[in-house]
């Protein structure tokens, strides 16, 4: 008699634990006793408001710099460079800058930022030594894409007309190179 009573309690306990593993007795959200759920379809106005709110949240996160994943020290050891990274400089202006200012020794070149830094050199037939920093900031073949900064060796000011003349020479040569390439 006691043995049958213990057996019944054990069976009842086993059933309760089995049903609780299925989501609980009568919980309504999962398990054997799941209630039917109604699905509401958002109206067109609600959908457009939701999309607009999502776009505003994304723009705000981008402005704050929160859209990019955080970097850690372990990122130094990973090969997570984007293979689709493109160089954002105009190749004709870049090549023309190197050709026009070939009398100046090159100190550093960075095609990813568009900066060419030269050392001091004398132009052919000139008496003053100059140094130039060229900044190609746009992939368009346009005057706004090119900035040239000149410095004389004595630290004296360089006339704006001189810098403008070099910019014009670089842009003219860039157009010539583009025309030459289009004929191929």
Q: Is residue 21 assigned to a domain?
A: no
Q: Is residue 99 assigned to a domain?
A: yes
Residue indicated by tokens 């309690």: 9
Q: Is residue 101 assigned to a domain?
A: yes
Q: How do residues 133-166 score in pLDDT, each as one tens digit?
A: 999 988 888 888 899 999 998 887 788 999 999 9
Q: How do residues 126-141 score in pLDDT, each as one tens digit?
A: 888 999 999 998 888 8
pLDDT average, residue stretch 87-108? 90
Q: Is residue 30 assigned to a domain?
A: no
Domain that holds residue 114: 91-182
The pLDDT confidence band at residue 41, using thresholds 50, 70 and 90, is: very low
Q: Is residue 42 assigned to a domain?
A: no
Q: Is residue 148 assigned to a domain?
A: yes
Q: Is residue 33 assigned to a domain?
A: no
Task: Say which CATH number the domain at 96 has.
Answer: 3.30.530
Total domains in the chain come to 1
Residue 94 has pLDDT above 60, yes or no: yes
Q: Is residue 158 assigned to a domain?
A: yes
Share above pLDDT 70 across residues of the chain, in percent, rounded to a whole number: 59
- Residue 109, exposed/middle/buried by CB under 10 A (0-12, 13-18, 19+)? middle
Task: Identify whether the C-beta of residue 105 lies closer than 8 Å to the C-beta of residue 117.
Answer: no
């Amino acid at each position: 008699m006691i043995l049958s009573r213990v057996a019944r309690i054990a069976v009842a306990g086993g059933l309760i634990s089995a049903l609780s593993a299925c989501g609980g007795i009568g919980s309504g959200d999962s398990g054997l006793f799941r209630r039917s759920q109604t699905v509401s379809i958002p109206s067109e106005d609600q959908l457009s408001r939701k999309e607009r709110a999502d776009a505003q949240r994304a723009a705000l996160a981008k402005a704050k710099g929160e859209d990019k994943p955080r970097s850690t020290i372990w990122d130094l050891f990973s090969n997570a460079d984007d293979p689709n990274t493109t160089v954002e400089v105009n190749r004709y202006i870049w090549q023309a800058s190197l050709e026009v200012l070939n009398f100046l020794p090159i100190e550093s070149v960075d095609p990813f930022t568009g900066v060419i830094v030269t050392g001091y050199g004398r132009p052919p037939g000139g008496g003053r030594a100059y140094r130039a920093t060229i900044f190609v900031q746009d992939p368009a073949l346009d005057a706004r894409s090119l900035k040239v900064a000149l410095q004389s060796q004595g630290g004296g000011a360089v006339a704006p007309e001189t810098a403008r003349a070099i910019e014009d020479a670089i842009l003219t040569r860039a157009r010539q190179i583009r025309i030459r390439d289009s004929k191929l």
